[in-house]
Structure 1
Amino acid sequence: MADFSDLVARAVSPSMSRDEREQVYTVVRQAVQRLQDREGLAADDPAIVLQRHLIEETIRDVEFDITRYLTLRKIEEARAAQDAEHAARISGRRR
């Protein structure tokens, strides 16, 4: 399942909008559904239910990672702006 998680993570990026990422997830869900259909198991088969759960868990984890990345980037940008403002104030006092 780690390979699958890596595949999903590589298919999306933080620069994509949420809608674009959701389109990728929809394609992933459809592909998994087709693979499951080929196996010929009932929709309520425990293996199928587990696979679907793992797919959703993977998508959730990828979204969490993207949110964390974007949040950290915003924090870094705010810190840089604050540092620049502070430096400007200090240089203004020295004149």
Structure 2
Amino acid sequence: MADFSDLVARAVSPAMGRDEREQVYDVVRQAVQRLQEREGLAVDDPGILLQRHLIEETIRDVEFDITRFLTLRRIDEARAAQDAESARRSGRRR
């Protein structure tokens, strides 16, 4: 499943909008569903249910990582702006 997580993580990027990422996730879901249909197992088969759960869990994990990345980037930008403002103000006092 680690390879699958890596594949999903590589298919999306923080630069993409939420709608774009959701389109990628839909493609992933459809591809997995087609693979499951080829196996010929019942829709309520425990193995299929587990796979679907793991896919959704992977998508949630990727979204969490993207959210964390974007949040940390915004914090860094805010800190840089504060530092620049502080430097500007301290330059005036001299």
Give the TM-score range, shorter chain. Answer: over 0.9
Q: What is the root-mean-square deviation in Å for CA atoms of aligned residues?
A: 0.2
Number of residues of Structure 1 aligned to a counterpart in Structure 2: 94
* Whole-Å separation in 1 of the counterparts to 2:85 and 2:24: 40
What letter matches 2:57 in structure 1? E
CA positional deviation for 1:14: 0.2
Normalising to structure 1: TM-score of the pair? 0.98
> What is the aligned partner in structure 2 of residue 80 from structure 1?
80
Percent of residue pairs bearing the same amino acid type: 84
Is residue 2:2 matched to residue 1:2? yes
Q: Deviations over 1:24-56 (max 9, x none)?
A: 000000000000000000010000000000000
What letter matches 1:44 in structure 2? D
Which stretches in structure 1 are left out of the alignment for 5+ residues?
none
Normalising to structure 2: TM-score of the pair? 1.00
* Whole-Å separation in 2 of the counterparts to 1:55 and 1:49: 10
> What is the aligned partner in structure 2 of residue 44 from structure 1?
44
Q: Deviations over 1:41-72 (max 9, x none)?
A: 00100000000000000000000000000000
- Off by >3 Å, runs of 4+ in structure 1: none
Which stretches in structure 2 are left out of the alignment for 5+ residues?
none
CA positional deviation for 1:6: 0.1
* Whole-Å separation in 1 of the counterparts to 2:58 and 2:93: 53
* Whole-Å separation in 1 of the counterparts to 2:74 and 2:2: 29
* Whole-Å separation in 1 of the counterparts to 2:45 and 2:29: 17
Alignment of 1:1-40 (within 5 A): 1-40=1-40
